[in-house]
Amino acid sequence: MDDVKIGEILLPGDEKAQNRQERQVRARFWPTLKRAVRYVPFSRDLVAAYYCAVDPKTPTRVRGILLAALGYFVLPIDVVPDVFAVVGFTDDIAVLATAFRMIQGHIADRHYEAADAALADQPDMAGGVHSGT
C-alpha cells in the first residue's frame, strides 16, 4: 500500500459518512478482532482506538480518522483479503498504524482503561494483547 491510498482511506468524511462507518465498526469490530488478535501486534491500542472513536468527547476529525481506519479493518474485503491469515492483515496494520500516528495523543487513559477491561473480559484474546505504547 502506498501513502496516497492510505491517505484516501483515512479521510474523516462528513457526519453522514462517519455515522455509517460507526454503525459498521460497532457491528463488526469484536468479531474481526477475535479473528485478527494474534496477527495484530498492537491489539490493546486497537481496542483503545475503538473506544476513542465511539467516544462523543473525541474531536470530530479524530473520530472520523479512527472510524475510517477501523472501518477498513472490519471490512471483509480490502486490498489484501483478511482470509489470508498473516498476510491478510498487513494492509490493515499499515492503515491503523498511519491513523495512530495522525491522531497521536488523542487516545486517552480512559480509552486504554476501557480497552484493558474489555480485553480482560475476553480470555480468548488475552494472549494476543500487545501494546505499542
Question: In this structure, what C-alpha cell is assigned to residue 54?
Answer: 465511539
pLDDT > 90 fraction of the chain, expressed in percent and rounded: 44
With bands split at pLDDT 50, 70 and 90, how would you rate the model's confidence at 126?
Answer: low
pLDDT value, residue 89: 64
This prediction's pTM: 0.79
Domain boundaries, the chain: 11-124
pLDDT digits (tens, 9 = 90+) for 32-90: 888 877 777 788 999 999 999 999 999 999 999 999 999 988 876 544 444 444 455 67
